[in-house]
Amino acid sequence: MKEIVRRLRRYEIVDDATLKELISEHPPPWADEQWVTFYFRGEADEVRLRHFIFGLPTSQPLVRIPDTDQWILTVEIPPESRVEYKYEIVRDGAGRWIQDPLNPRLAFDPFGANSVCHGEGYHSPKWTQELPDVRRGTLTEYQIASKAFGDIRHFSVYLPSRYREHRRYPLLIVHDGRDYLRFASMKTVLDNLMERNEVAPLIVAFSHPGNRLDEYPDDSRHQSHIVEELLPFLTSHFPIYDDKMKLGLMGASFGGVATLSTAWRYPDIFGNLLLQSGSFAFTDIGTHSRGAAFDPVVEFMNQFRSNPGRPAERVFLSCGMYETLIYENRSMLPFLQNLKLQIRYSESRDGHNWVNWRDQLREGLSYLFPGSLWMFYE
């Protein structure tokens, strides 16, 4: 395989039978140590790689192999990376973004799907997949009338496979619960990690937001709903520990901001926070350039940084190296360490997406809610 790809990288013509066999057995893009070769076949005026790696040009042109309809581009991508991308196909001056038609690997999110490139050495963790002989927890839908929002709020409750009403359990509340379940396979992850005793049996409430861009950046209605409505419902209907060190709150992106702001506005409620790729934009001076949606985020973060208090006791913080938010998340580490919190920080060679957050769940959950064998597995 490597020799054929190297011939393509030299813009040499490879016969169709060889190409067909290569693509059938090893769909592109092709990783070779730190180099990844993207390949497209079809008529176009231009073909451009559109990827989501902060720090590199987001649009890079593929080069046509002379006298063919084949296009090639080799990019340096570190081993164990995972990159989502599309192709922009330009014809008659008009560009159209498409998934890679030769690559079966797709990643889904609320906006659709992207093609996925695996750098050399990246593998989807086994514990993210449905495995035989794993006892499965239950997931039940609930709704409550919210005085804070003046409407009906929906959420799902996960109970572990060995749930017993006479026992008490830790509780984790998850922002963007529906997306964590659908795009980050979180129920499967919970089933597997509890079966392996890496994560303690716990009850997980998946909260489903209304308009998250309005509700998540330091919205008093949202904070009141989580702490004064959802939490009392859960503690009155399920056997949950009356101990803040057994309570956790988590979220990704704007959900990370909602997690931090809720814990900050209601201190001494949650002992544990799991923050993934938080949109922690702030300004030390002047203004920001992230758009109007970030105005309330920046206002909150500036307040928090000037008077942080003690929002929790233990924090897991993670971010992808290829995200535009990497610097803000890195800056949170020493800031939270200065508050004398217990904190673990993790970076991955990935971007701002649900599979990245899925891949970080094992480390985050086992840190905050360790099971009896959390150090046993790789």
State whether residue 116 is helix, strand or coil: strand
Average pLDDT of the segment spanning 105-109 = 95
CB atoms under 10 Å from CB of 165, counted, come to 7
Distance CA 230, CA 207 (A): 9
Is the pLDDT at 376 greater than 60, yes or no? no
DSSP 304-367: HHHS-----SEEEEEEETTSTTHHHHHHHHHHHHTTT-EEEEEEES--SSHHHHHHTHHHHHHH
pLDDT in tens, 264-285: 999 999 999 999 999 999 997 7
pLDDT of residue 143: 97
Look at residues 55, 111, 67, 121 and name the one whose alpha carbon lies nearest to residue 86: 111
**C-alpha distance across the termini of the chain, in Å:** 30
Interatomic CA distance for residues 235 and 227, integer angstroms: 11
Alpha carbon distance 225, 221 (integer Å)? 6
User: What's the Cα-to-Cα distance from 37 to each of 116, 120, 227, 357, rounded to whole Å?
Assistant: 13, 12, 49, 26
Under the banding of pLDDT at 50, 70 and 90, the label for residue 378 is very low
Contact between 319 and 325 (Cβ < 8 Å): yes
**304-318: pLDDT as tens digits:** 999 999 999 999 999
Give tens-digit pLDDT for 196-250.
999 999 999 999 999 999 999 999 999 999 999 999 999 999 999 999 999 999 9
Residue 104 has pLDDT above 70, yes or no: yes
Mean pLDDT over the full length of the chain: 95
Average pLDDT over residues 135-163: 97
Beta-carbon count within 10 A of 210 CB: 15
Flag whether pLDDT at 368 surpasses 80.
yes
Q: Which domains does the chain have, with CATH numbers?
A: 2-118 (2.60.40.10), 126-368 (3.40.50.1820)
Give the mean pLDDT of 29-57: 94
Measured in whole angstroms, the distance separating CA 368 from the mean position of its chain's CA atoms is 18
C-alpha triplet 191, 193, 197: angle, nearest 5°: 115
Region of 86 on the Ramachandran plot (φ > 0 left; ψ -120 to 50 alpha; else beta)? beta
pLDDT at 344: 98
Distance CA 263, CA 251 (A): 12
Q: Which residues of 87-118 are buried (b: 16+ CB within 10 A; e: fewer)?
A: bbbeeeeebeeebbebbebebebeeeebbbbb
Q: What is the DSSP string of 30-59?
A: EEETTEEEEEEES--SEEEEEE--TTS-SE
| Prediction pTM value | 0.94
Q: Looking at residue 377, what is its pLDDT?
A: 47
What pLDDT is attached to residue 373?
77
Residue 94's identity, in one-letter code, is A
Give the C-alpha separation, 26 to 292, whole Å: 44
Residue that has been written with the tokens 């599309």 in this structure: 86
How many Å apart are CA 370 and CA 352, to the nearest integer?
Answer: 26
Q: What separation in angstroms does the CA of 315 have from each of 35, 41, 184, 333, 335?
A: 35, 47, 20, 10, 12
Average pLDDT over residues 1-16: 87
Please give the average per-residue pLDDT across 137-152, as a whole number: 97
